[in-house]
């Protein structure tokens, strides 16, 4: 609900009471009173630039004793907090020069003295209506802004999700492709060597057949966490390449270093001792790995990327062909 708060600035006690009885017949939630300029500035807290405005509408008697109503009006309107507040002047003076000055000072309307009830009610009522419209528009805009912030956050989350493998929580093929291209370009720029490990679980079909697909999924998660743990440098990058195949990108790494990391991974997976009783080669889950490394001397093309992956794939094939549970370069 939109609340309307009104301040009456008048030093005449009888006038205050009269205006109060009028206002109580309109849609007003709070009525406040001040009698002097100083009291008004104080009440409005003009020196504080961060608070919400204390009132929506100010009814300002222009002939306060020894004070200039137009000055008060100006001063209130100068505060950034009270830019939107509406000021209605009550004045006995109606010469053009004076009124021009009052409007220039920021007054939105004026009521002639002596006050006629019907005129007072009509003018204040239309000010209240206008104020309500403005306030509800501001509230709507705030809501929209909050909503669009939420959408932005959801979008960010979705973008992230699109790059993460749902089962293992490590990067997916899409992010692998992006990262490999980026790292190849960087390797060319920095004239460093880049290594790639491709990994495939040995006799994993048999594993699924023996323990069920669910257990197979658990096994994939375990393998993924070994890969993450062995991607020690910030730039090392592990991903699920597909089904039961994984890949690790190792920037600034040559053959020797890559072989070492591949062997660490293979041994760490053996050390998990994930039972695989029907495996033809071991009692536990094992993996085969193929490694390639490259000094990028030409433009990074799709052809170059493919041949780099193919080299690791061929090494992996060799590992499978020559007994599995091993690393081949
Ligand atoms: P090899 O040693 O030659 O790699 O033999 P393999 O049985 O591991 O290879 P193959 O390509 O014949 O079988 C791969 C299996 O991996 C078959 C497939 O059902 C399983 N697999 C692929 N993706 C998933 C998955 O997300 N979850 C589970 N549980 N199994 C999967
Ligand atoms: Mg496979
Ligand atoms: Mg296979
Ligand atoms: Mg396999």
Q: Looking at the chain, how many residues does it have?
A: 329
pLDDT digits (tens, 9 = 90+) for 161-188: 999 999 999 999 999 999 999 999 999 9
Residue 95: per-residue pLDDT: 85
Ligand 1 atom index nearest CA of 219: 29
pLDDT digits (tens, 9 = 90+) for 112-156: 999 999 999 999 999 999 999 999 998 999 999 999 999 999 999
Ligand 1 atom index nearest CA of 200: 4
Name the pLDDT band for 47 (thresholds 50, 70, 90).
confident
What is the distance in A from the centroid of ligand 1 to the CA of 280?
15
Please provide the average confidence, as pLDDT, over all residues in the chain. 95
3-state SS of the chain?
CCCCEEEEECCCHHHHHHHHHHHCCCCCCEEEEECCHHHHHHHHCCCCCCCCCCCCEEEEECCCCCCCHHHHHHHHHHCHHHCCCEEEEEECCCCHHHHHHHHHCCCCEEEECCCCHHHHHHHHHHHHHHHHHHHHHHHHHHHHHHHHHHHHHHHHHHHHHCCECCCCCCECHHHHHHHHHHHHHHHHHHCCEEEEEEEEECCHHHHHHHHCHHHHHHHHHHHHHHHHHHCCCCCCEEEEEECCEEEEEECCCCHHHHHHHHHHHHHHHHHHCCECCCCCCCCECCEEEEEEEEECCCCCCHHHHHHHHHHHHHHHHHHHHCCCCCEEC
pLDDT higher than threshold 60 for residue 66 = no
Residue 35: per-residue pLDDT: 92
Mean pLDDT value of segment 32-57: 92
Q: Tell me the chain's radius of gyration from C-alpha atoms.
A: 39
143-162 burial code (b ≥16 CB/10 A, e <16): eeeeeeeeeeeeeeeeeeee
Checking ipTM against 0.85, whether it exceeds it is yes
The tokens 């493919």 sit on which residue?
A: 306
Distance, CA of 44 to CA of 279 (rounded, Å): 82
The tokens 């730039």 sit on which residue?
A: 235
What number of CA atoms fall less than 13 Å from residue 258's CA on the CB side? 27
Name the pLDDT band for 40 (thresholds 50, 70, 90).
very high
Residue 221 near ligand 1, beta carbon < 6 Å: no
Mean pLDDT value of segment 212-238: 96
Residue 232 near ligand 1, beta carbon < 6 Å: no
Residue 243 near ligand 1, beta carbon < 6 Å: yes
Site to probe by mutation for ligand 1, drawn from 166, 200, 201, 205 as the one with most ligand atoms within 8 Å of Cβ, is 205
Mean pLDDT value of segment 303-326: 98
pTM for the full predicted model:
0.69
Residue 290 near ligand 1, beta carbon < 6 Å: no
Residue 86 bridge partners (DSSP)? 57
């Amino acid at each position: 609900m939109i609340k309307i708060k009104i301040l009456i600035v008048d030093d005449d006690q009888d006038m205050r009471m009269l205006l109060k009885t009028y206002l109580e017949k309109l849609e007003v939630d709070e009525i406040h009173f001040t009698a002097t300029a100083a009291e008004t500035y104080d009440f409005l807290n003009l020196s504080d630039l961060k608070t919400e405005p204390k009132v929506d509408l100010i009814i300002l008697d222009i002939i306060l004793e020894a004070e200039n109503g137009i000055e008060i009006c100006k001063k209130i309107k100068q505060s950034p907090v009270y830019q939107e507040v509406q000021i209605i002047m009550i004045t006995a003076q109606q010469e053009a020069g004076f009124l021009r000055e009052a409007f220039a000072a920021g007054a939105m309307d004026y009521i002639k003295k002596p006050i006629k009830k019907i005129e007072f009610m009509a003018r204040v009522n239309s000010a209240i209506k206008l104020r309500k419209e403005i306030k509800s528009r501001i509230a709507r805009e705030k809501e929209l802004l909050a909503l669009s912030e939420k959408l932005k956050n959801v979008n960010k989350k979705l973008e992230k999700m699109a790059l993460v493998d749902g089962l293992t929580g490590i990067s997916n093929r899409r992010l692998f492709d992006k990262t490999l291209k980026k790292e190849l370009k960087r390797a060319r720029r920095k004239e460093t060597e880049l290594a790639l490990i491709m990994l495939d679980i040995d006799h994993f079909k048999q594993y699924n057949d023996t323990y069920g697909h669910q257990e197979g999924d658990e096994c994939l998660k375990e393998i993924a966490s070994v890969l993450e743990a062995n991607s020690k440098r910030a730039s090392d990058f592990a991903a699920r390449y597909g089904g039961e195949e994984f890949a690790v990108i190792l920037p600034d790494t040559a053959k020797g270093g890559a072989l070492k990391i591949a062997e660490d991974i293979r041994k760490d997976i053996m050390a998990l001792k994930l039972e695989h009783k029907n495996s033809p080669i071991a009692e536990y889950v094992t993996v085969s790995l193929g490694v390639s490394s490259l000094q990028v001397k030409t433009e990074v093309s799709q052809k170059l990327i493919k041949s780099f992956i193919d080299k690791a794939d061929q090494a992996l094939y060799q590992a499978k062909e020559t007994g599995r549970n091993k690393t081949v370069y």
